């Protein structure tokens, strides 16, 4: 019995040794394969960053909502990119056309429109039948209209389009004509002043002034500040002080039918208009009782087309047009006043400093 037990123990030890030796050999083989694997694989050719890659554009990219930021984080195929991830700050140039309103039995003029910080679009329009209406289009696709007032009827040639302003709390205000009179409409919620509940409150603010074209904006104090062109071609300032309405003659004219109005965060009114008799483009800044008038352009071929917006520093950026002998040109007038205080923000967003007399590397970036 003793010798049999000893023989079994010897065979078990031998088997353990063989298994350990096989494991060691297997590990050595795996290690050698790992070292040789880069040599056995086919090398992948990589193009230099200096070489321009030819991309086959996939054509226009369309989406349902019309908002580029809705695609942030998703995968798209566009302009030669396959399943590319849209970055959070990416913007896609997408235009979308949609029917918003159909007027049955009414002939409306050119609507005025304002966009608010909540992506709402506010509209107002006047009709030849005498109705003055507003509408709100929300990002959810909801379109709601309301009747401001019913005024004297007109025809297509003498219809005066209403002007729209929107307060910071999303309440519309409308400046419109009623025959030769000028009226104002306010949509107000129920309060101690307007106790009858939310509805339009209208009043005649000027009589026998013969308005032809109007513009309206809201001051930082929430007060109406507007422009009125009369039948004689004169341009008037029409504003509400909080207690009463005032009328101030800005230009005896005649001025063009198109003019622009922007009120900045400091309450300064920026007015752009043309003088048809001399072909001049005039920029007027109204700060309380101070008036700063500047001649931007003089051209005998000036067309009655204007555009203006304010940059981050409240500097006007202007677009005009000229037309002659069947040719039409758009002119951009950009203010670069002071460079660092005008077009360029004086507060740096990023600062990068390097050592003197040190070699710099080359970096190529793409988006």
Is the Cβ–Cβ distance between 266 and 257 less than 8 Å? no
Scan for tokens 């104090």, then name that residue.
221
Per-position DSSP letters for 277-307, written without gaps between them = TTTEEEEEEEETTEEEEEEEEE-TTEEEEEE
Strand 81-85, strand 75-78: pairing: antiparallel
pLDDT of residue 134: 92
Separation of alpha carbons 191 and 309, rounded Å: 35
d(CA 266, CA 280): 27
| Count of other CB atoms within 10 angstroms of residue 367 | 5
Phi, psi for 17 (deg, rounded to 5)? -65, -40
Residue 108 to residues 127, 132, 170: CA-CA distances in angstroms? 4, 9, 24
Q: Tell me 148's DSSP state.
A: E
Average per-residue pLDDT for the chain: 79
- Inform me whether the pLDDT recorded for 192 exceeds 80: no
Q: Phi first, then psi: what are they for 183, rounded to 5°?
A: -125, 160
More confident site: 214 or 106: 214
Is the domain spanning 108-253 CATH 2.40.50.140? The answer is: no
Measured CA distances, 32 to 144, 237, 348 (Å): 75, 88, 56
pLDDT, position 18: 56
Q: What is the pLDDT of residues 13-43, one digit of tens each?
A: 555 555 666 667 777 777 777 776 666 666 5
Question: Residue ranges of the domains in the chain?
Answer: 64-97, 108-253, 256-345
pTM comes to 0.65
């Amino acid at each position: 019995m003793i010798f049999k037990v000893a023989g079994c123990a010897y065979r078990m030890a031998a088997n353990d040794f063989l298994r350990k030796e096989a494991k060691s050999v297997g590990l050595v083989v795996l290690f050698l394969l790992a070292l040789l694997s880069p040599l056995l694989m086919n090398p992948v050719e990589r193009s230099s960053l200096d070489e321009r890659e030819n991309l086959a554009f996939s054509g226009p990219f369309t989406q349902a909502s019309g908002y580029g930021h809705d695609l942030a984080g998703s995968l798209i195929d566009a302009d030669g990119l396959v399943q590319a991830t849209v970055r959070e700050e990416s913007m896609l140039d997408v235009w979308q056309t949609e029917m918003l309103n159909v007027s049955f039995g009414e002939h409306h003029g050119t609507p005025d429109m304002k966009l608010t910080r909540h992506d709402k679009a506010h509209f107002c329009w006047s009709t030849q039948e005498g109705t003055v209406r507003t509408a709100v289009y929300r990002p959810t696709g909801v379109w709601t209209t309301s009747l401001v007032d019913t005024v004297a009827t007109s025809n297509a040639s003498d219809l005066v389009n209403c002007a729209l302003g929107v307060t910071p709390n999303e309440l519309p205000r409308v400046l419109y004509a009623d025959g030769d009179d000028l009226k104002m409409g306010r949509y107000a919620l129920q309060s101690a002043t307007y106790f009858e509940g939310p509805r339009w409150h209208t009043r005649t603010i000027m009589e026998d002034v013969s308005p032809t074209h109007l513009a309206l904006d809201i001051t930082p104090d929430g007060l109406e500040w507007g422009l009125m062109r009369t039948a004689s071609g004169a341009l008037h300032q029409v504003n509400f002080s909080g207690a009463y309405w005032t009328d101030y003659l800005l230009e005896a004219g005649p001025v063009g039918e198109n003019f622009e109005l922007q009120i900045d965060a400091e309450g300064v009114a920026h007015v752009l208009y043309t003088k048809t008799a001399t072909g001049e483009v005039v920029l007027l800044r109204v700060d309380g009782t101070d008036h700063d008038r500047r001649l931007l352009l003089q051209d005998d071929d000036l067309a009655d087309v204007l555009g203006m917006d304010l940059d981050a520093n409240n500097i006007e950026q202007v677009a005009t047009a000229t037309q002659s002998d069947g040719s039409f040109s758009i002119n951009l007038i950009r203010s670069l006043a002071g460079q660092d205080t005008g077009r360029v923000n004086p507060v740096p967003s990023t600062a990068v400093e390097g050592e003197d007399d040190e070699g710099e590397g080359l970096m190529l970036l793409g988006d």
